[in-house]
Amino acid sequence: MSEFSATYMRIVADHKLDCLGLFCPMPVLKTRDAMKQMTVGQVLEMTSDDPASEADMTSWVARTGHELLEIDKDGTVYRFLLRKTR
């Protein structure tokens, strides 16, 4: 095992939220509601196929102070990992 793979740990989400088929503002609103139910430090994985998702989520975390850990895109589906910070 390389040093990189030994030290790299994939982030595991505490909660998952499927927003496929939903369009602005619903992915952001559902993410907000899900984060309200979580405790500080927990991670949410949200998936969305809304083309505006990346810009919307980037803006939302900047406004709310939560941490955007990762954005992945597979075809038309975005996968966001967000950590609750407050």
- Which residues participate in catalysis according to the annotation? 24
Query: Residue with structure tokens 């559902």?
Result: 30
Taking the C-alpha atoms of residue 73 and residue 35, their distance in angstroms, rounded to an integer, is: 22
User: For residue 64, with 0-12 CB atoms within 10 Å meaning exposed, 13-18 middle and 19 or more buried, which class applies?
Assistant: middle
